[in-house]
Chain A
Amino acid sequence: MSAYVYGVGTSHFGRQPGVGGPALAQQAVLEALRDAEVDSVDAVYAGTVFGAPGTAQRALQSVGITGVPVLTFENACATSSTGFHEARHAVLSGRYERVLVLGIETMTAHFNGPITPEETDAEGRAGLALPGVYAMVASRYDHLHGLRPEALAAVAVKNRRHGSLNDRAQHGVEVTAEEVLASRMVADPLTLLQCCDISDAATAAVVGVDRGRTRDVRIAASALRSGGLWDHRSDQPWGYELMGQVAADAWAEAGIGPEDVDLFEVHDAFTIGEITATEALGLAEPGGGQDLVLSGHTTLGGRQPVNPSGGLLSRGHPLGATGLAQVAEGVWHVRGEAGARQVEGARVAAVETMGGGTAGIDGNGCVVVVLGG
């Protein structure tokens, strides 16, 4: 038995101050319901990281979804991926026949610039903002494997080129490696064009039981964990071991490996994140993620494109909405509906979302989803 994605939808991604969660959610939910060809759901699994209490219910009344159970999840960047993971289990367990999953984030309502670190967190209080967290990943990776700036730049060049084919993306402008490396240094060695932007957006998906339609996309696997203690005994960069464990869970459940996947959407909040994710997913050996991107293997037209949507680097990163945006991209490719960025003949897509912000553990949560097959 499997659960299926009936339909997906997203708002536009970008800094859209004044638009508000309900208006963004209308775009995403109405598209998803139309795509799914359903007009009602049994429950809603929503997600937002920074949204006020009641964000989901406030948005849902704007699309006439009332009177059903509405649950709100928070799992940092992996928030709506977590809602998706749980919705799938609700369907598999027989609790509901179909569940709407919804991600909403209006980040310009909360931040004037980048996300400010959480002061109840030991490292946040010490000033380690998120670019610093990923810069530390790059530093440790460099110590273990040697990190070439051109590999970081290649991730940004590739994903921003992919993003130029995605009309929903926030930053769809192509850049050169020279421009990437010459852009303003944010946290050594990560420059501005290697960092995703904050964004306002909503995303939605309808997940349900097998109804025998070929256009529905099977969820072959979904795995979720939070990180273990990440401390003085740890040798690996932040998040790496967690991503590897969750990926192993997902491959085991799907009964396939990374070599069987046609495209990946992974958590490139910062360029180094894509390099470590591709290694943790098993696409490359430890240290091999650099050659993987430099070789063209992961570009559109390559053997296994990574982030054909343009990734977080192009799409922007509305935290609680990002996971379902990745799922939507996977669904579009498996159905052959991804337009100019379609991965030819795609049958299987994998999605990885990594959420962080808690000092001392290897990640708040990581989700890996396998679609299709």
Chain B
Amino acid sequence: MSPTVQPPPADPRTRATSDGTAVTITGWRCTACHYPMTQQVTACMECRGEVEETTFATEGEVWASTCLRVRVPGHQPPFAVAYVVLDGGPRVLVHTGGDQPLAPGTRARVVAVSETGDLVAEPDGPVSAQEVAS
């Protein structure tokens, strides 16, 4: 093998920008069936209809969650993650602070993009004891 440096692969994650106070999540939505997509597409994944760039809600409901406590390249354990179904779709994978996963069924909001390029979410509204999964 030649010792050339490979360019990094295209980043497949959900696209988001932060101006320091608010996060904007961008993607594509089908103009025909309204299916929301976070991966770069030129046609709808569901119906192959036309798509247009759009922004998605930053709030939604936690669908499932866990905390990884093993070494994963590029991420420092422990780190908690969750699937959040954004209001109006899509479902995104987010990191959440600390090592206590957010409980499914509770509300969360994407508040930042981490140094590693991942969406970061927090519980939406005041946290009650029941909202932190045991």
Contact = CB atoms under 8 A, between A and B. Distances in A.
Interface of A: 113-114, 116-117, 119-123, 125-129, 131-132, 135-140, 142-143, 184-189, 229, 231-234, 237, 359-360
Given A231-B91, A232-B85, A232-B91, A127 B74 contact: yes
Nearest to A185: B69
A126 B95 contact: yes
Contacts of B89: 231-233
B123 to A, nearest CB: 16
A324 to B, nearest CB: 28
A127 B69 contact: no
Interface stretch (B6-14, B18-26, B124-132): B6-14
B79 interface: yes
Contact of B70 (A114, A123, A231): A114
A143 B133 CA distance: 11
A128 B81 contact: yes
Interface in B76-124: 79, 81, 83, 85-86, 89-91, 93, 95, 101, 104-105, 116-118
A119 B46 CA distance: 24
Interface of B: 9-14, 36, 38-39, 45-46, 63-75, 79, 81, 83, 85-86, 89-91, 93, 95, 101, 104-105, 116-118, 133
A135 B12 contact: no
Given A139-B66, A186-B69, 6 more contacts: A114-B70, A120-B12, A122-B39, A125-B11, A140-B64, A229-B46
Given A113-B71, A231-B90, A126 B13 contact: yes
Given A127-B72, A232-B89, A122 B66 contact: no
Given A140-B104, A232-B89, A127 B68 contact: yes
Contacts of A116: 72-73
B67 A187 contact: yes
Residue from the set B12, B85, B86, B101 with the largest chain A CB neighbour count within 10 Å? B12
A122 B104 contact: no
Nearest to B65: A139
Nearest to A138: B66
A187 B118 contact: no
Given A119-B9, A122-B39, A188-B101, A129 B72 contact: yes
Contacts of A117: 72-73
A135 to B, nearest CB: 4
A141 to B, nearest CB: 9
Nearest to B102: A139
